[in-house]
Amino acid sequence: MASTSSSTGIIRGSSWIQKKINLKPLQRGCHLITDEIVKQVPELSQFVVGILHLQIMHTSASLALNENWDPDVRYVS
């Protein structure tokens, strides 16, 4: 990781992190994985602004991103 740190622990300037993580198997359906990502990539807390790229290494999985403000987003009618 290339970075410039301040006394607050916040990364400033150009930096990146590459990490392979595993998620526990889940049943078919929609699942919130934010907490698991944050838990397995604690370096995220050092960033104020950035882009996260996720690659799912399973052929039958897909990823949907929602702002998750309204709980109705999780349910298909």
Residue 3 has pLDDT above 50, yes or no: no
pTM of the shown model: 0.62
Q: Is 72 strand, coil or helix?
A: helix
pLDDT over 70 for what percent of the chain? Answer: 73
For the chain, give percent helix, strand, coil, nearest 5: 20, 5, 75
CA dihedral 19, 24, 26, 32 (to 10 degrees): -50
- pLDDT one-digit tens code per residue, 48-68: 888 888 888 887 777 777 676
- Whole-angstrom distance, CA of residue 8 vs CA of residue 30: 36
Q: Residue 75: what pLDDT?
A: 67
